[in-house]
């Protein structure tokens, strides 16, 4: 038992006498480069010279205004009522309906909810371009009505005629939800990129 006690005391003493490693603090020096001298402010343009304005003398008004003309009252005769059709009278032309106002398309960054694809039809990689190993990126701008229907498609960045046609055909088959501003559907202008990449 004494041996066990001796071993335990020796272990405790050896643990207490082991010095702890000192923490090393690394110091990095930064070299500050002097700032370039500030650019002088642009010269203040000379003040324009004030223009001389001629003072206009007011013209004297006549002392009394001319007397107003006195008109005799006219007798009002009621217009006779027309009964039946007048054979000599030409029919009044029908008024053309007012043209519908030009649709307004809101840029997508002003929307509270962006339009989205309800049914996205992916463009088909053109076989001629796949055969030649050609890749492309096409960016289109579409005008969506407040109902989510495509009003127009414009190619912003062309990838070539075959790629542009593939994108146009896929968009015409796709179905969109409209964009919204405060829970109200609105027409929207949005750009969509399409990337054609061989794997």
pLDDT, one tens digit per residue, over 166-178 is: 999 999 999 999 8
Percent of the chain with pLDDT over 70: 61
Contact 193, 136 (CB under 8 A): no
Residue with tokens 């009621």: 78
Identify the pLDDT of residue 74.
Answer: 47
Contact 174, 117 (CB under 8 A): yes
Contacts of residue 33, Cβ cutoff 8 Å, sequence gap at least 6 = none
Alpha helices in 23-177 (DSSP H): 127-132, 161-173
pTM: 0.48
Given pLDDT bands bounded at 50, 70 and 90, which one contains residue 71?
very low
- Average pLDDT over all residues of the chain: 76
CA distance 19 to 7: 20
Percent of the chain with pLDDT over 90: 30
| Domains of the chain, start order | 116-196 (3.30.2420.10)
Handedness of CA 149, 155, 159, 161 (dihedral sign): positive
* Residue of higher predicted confidence among 100 and 69: 100
CA distance 185 to 177: 9
């Amino acid at each position: 038992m004494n041996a066990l006690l001796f071993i335990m005391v020796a272990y405790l003493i050896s643990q207490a006498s082991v010095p702890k490693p000192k923490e090393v603090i690394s110091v990095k020096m930064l070299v500050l480069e002097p700032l370039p001298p500030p650019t002088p402010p642009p010269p203040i343009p000379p003040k324009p010279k004030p223009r001389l304005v001629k003072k206009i003398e007011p013209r004297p008004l006549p002392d009394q205004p001319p007397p107003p003309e006195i008109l005799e009252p006219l007798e009002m005769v009621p217009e006779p009522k027309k009964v039946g059709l007048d054979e000599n009278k030409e029919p009044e032309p029908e008024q053309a309906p007012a043209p519908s106002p030009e649709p307004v398309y809101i840029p997508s960054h002003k929307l509270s909810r962006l339009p989205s694809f309800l049914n996205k039809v992916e463009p088909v990689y053109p076989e001629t371009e796949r055969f030649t190993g050609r890749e492309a990126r096409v960016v289109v701008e579409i005008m969506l009505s407040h109902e989510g229907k495509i009003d127009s498609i414009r190619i912003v960045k062309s990838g070539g005629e075959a790629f542009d046609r593939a994108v146009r055909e896929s968009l015409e088959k796709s179905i969109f939800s409209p964009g919204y501003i405060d829970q109200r559907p609105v027409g929207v202008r949005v750009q969509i990129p399409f990337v054609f990449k061989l794997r």
